[in-house]
Amino acid sequence: MKTLAILNGPNLDRLGKREPEIYGHATLADLEARLRAEFEGVAQLEFFQSNHEGEIVDRISALADAKIDGLVINGAALTHTSVALRDALAGSGLRAVEVHISNIYKREEFRQKSLTAPACVAVITGLGLEGYAAAIRFLLR
């Protein structure tokens, strides 16, 4: 059975409360429960969320050292600003899929540029929380 990590960046702990017209009403706990139920017996899922860039970078390094099978990452605002996050992904050797809940190409111009996407094997944007499941299915192939 493959082990996959799902990493969420800043403010995603506020899902369901923060801008529900953009991100929906489901919480991060709802998302985790949904993914665990959908992939039970198919994949071992590890979840991590932090509002702190360095903690996410450290987690990517730890996952690389643990030689997990893949990574789903929603770097949130760090996607658009963090060279450190990009470098951590690129240097990890992990197959990573970048996920965005909203369609970043329908948002503000600054959200339309991802620094981390070139370090990922794929990007999923605008599918809502279903994007996470799509990313997991892709990594399991």
Tokens 């944007």, residue located: 125
Greatest CA span in the chain, whole angstroms? 41
- Residues acting as catalytic residues: 23, 100
* H-helix or E-strand spanning residue 25: none
Please give, one letter per residue, the 3-state secondary structure of 107-118.
CCHHHHCCCCHH
3-class DSSP state for residue 13?
helix
